[in-house]
Structure 1
């Protein structure tokens, strides 16, 4: 009896080893394929990064930092907002539409109840520094109707 038990155990071990070896070969081949894919993808990423660096300007970080710095030093007070808006000859609703905010926000800024966020400050600075042609073009794009042109109001 002990001999039969030993024979069965040996046969089970042999078959189990055979199956494990077959599975191991399959997994090794899959692993090799995956490693090839990873190396190909790494090479593609390198090529794409080189192409991207050629397309981008040389110093984009400095431009972004300069824009952020100018936004930090840009002071917005209620009186200045009123002054800039009236210089452009715009009503609160029109000014709000150009800035992409609600007219109530502009009213609160002008009343001193709240202050514009950094994104709005940058947009206010863009509107303030915008040329007359650019401003009229922007008004046309946004659907803002000007009663008098910014050229007339800026020259007076």
Structure 2
């Protein structure tokens, strides 16, 4: 016949295992929810960091876009640019050096394929004053 203490010990361990199983199940559920929340938070942080880098890369636009610094508007014409370059007798490469751009940019501006930016328009106005 089994001893009363061994029966009591086995019964206590059985009840303890059942209680622990319930507690562990609750903890597992909680850990799972925390992991899901953590993964979501990491995704949000990564998205926000990506957006922040994209905003940092964007050029900063002045309050009045397209206005020259000195207040005067500079007119641009591809034909006038070609005529002025021919008048002063410079190659596209040399003319580009005066403005701070490549010779290919000068060719494209003269052909009408592209338009110079505001900074280059100001440099063109300065170079036009040379002649």
Q: TM-score, normalised by structure 2?
A: 0.46
TM-score w.r.t. the length of structure 1 is 0.39
- The structure where helix makes up a greater share of residues is 1
Structure possessing the higher relative contact order (Cα contacts under 8 Å, 6 or more residues apart): 1
- Which structure has the larger Rg over C-alpha atoms? 2
